[in-house]
Structure 1
């Protein structure tokens, strides 16, 4: 039995005008490998994986990466490897002028997915 072990990630990138498309490259019980193409102005909403880790390898572009429920963000760019350990909030907003392209590896494959609402403070100006 032959199992594919080498993939050309560019064949999985799917630019979209709506939300970015989660394009699965390969998956097993051990991990899910996903290619992401996030256009300028697009966002992968904040979320967490309650039972696993999500590791991103940024191939092209830049963006602002969500770090917590408070909406704290940090700049990420091509060449970065970004790790969200089990239960850590993460997501990204492409605030640049070029596509943000990265590979995500979620491990284990059944890490789960939970969307997170960012806490906002409303200040009344009288």
Structure 2
């Protein structure tokens, strides 16, 4: 099993919805590369049984903080944490790709889409 990965090998631009590209997965965590084109979004969701931590490598976006749709700007260099059960999602409102690494821990944290209220 490799312990070193080149993140750029996993970023997959797509014209439709952004693609979740798994870099590595164990029972402790799943590490995912995200490439979000301008105008694309990851819809608001929660992980009912775990935390999602994003490290923003490039670009910017509007990060969703709650079910009411409260937003906060995020950009390259930020580390963004959604503790267990916290609503999160992002819209790329910039003019360049929003690229980040997500670590969900544990890997069976679950996923549930959240509708805006």
Give the TM-score normalised by structure 1. Answer: 0.92
- Structure 1 unmatched ranges of 5 or more: 120-126
Query: Separation in 1 of the partners of 2:68 and 2:31?
Result: 28
Matching residue of 2:33 = 35
Query: Separation in 2 of the partners of 1:28 and 1:112?
Result: 14
SS in 1 for 2:45: strand
Matching residue of 1:78 = 76
Show CA shifts across 1:85-122 (max 9, x none).
00000000000000000000000010000000011xxx
1:100-111 matches, cutoff 5 A? 100-111=98-109
Query: Separation in 1 of the partners of 2:116 and 2:90?
Result: 13
SS in 1 for 2:48: coil
- Structure 2 unmatched ranges of 5 or more: none
SS in 1 for 2:63: strand
Task: Identify the match of residue 98 of structure 1 among 96, 99, 103.
Answer: 96
Post-superposition offset of 1:63: 0.1
Runs of at least 4 residues off by over 3 Å: none
Task: Identify the match of residue 51 of structure 1 among 43, 49, 52.
Answer: 49
Query: Separation in 2 of the partners of 1:40 and 1:79?
Result: 18
Post-superposition offset of 1:44: 0.2
**Bigger radius of gyration:** 1
Matching residue of 1:17 = 15
Q: How many residues of Structure 1 are paired with residues of Structure 2 in the alignment? A: 117
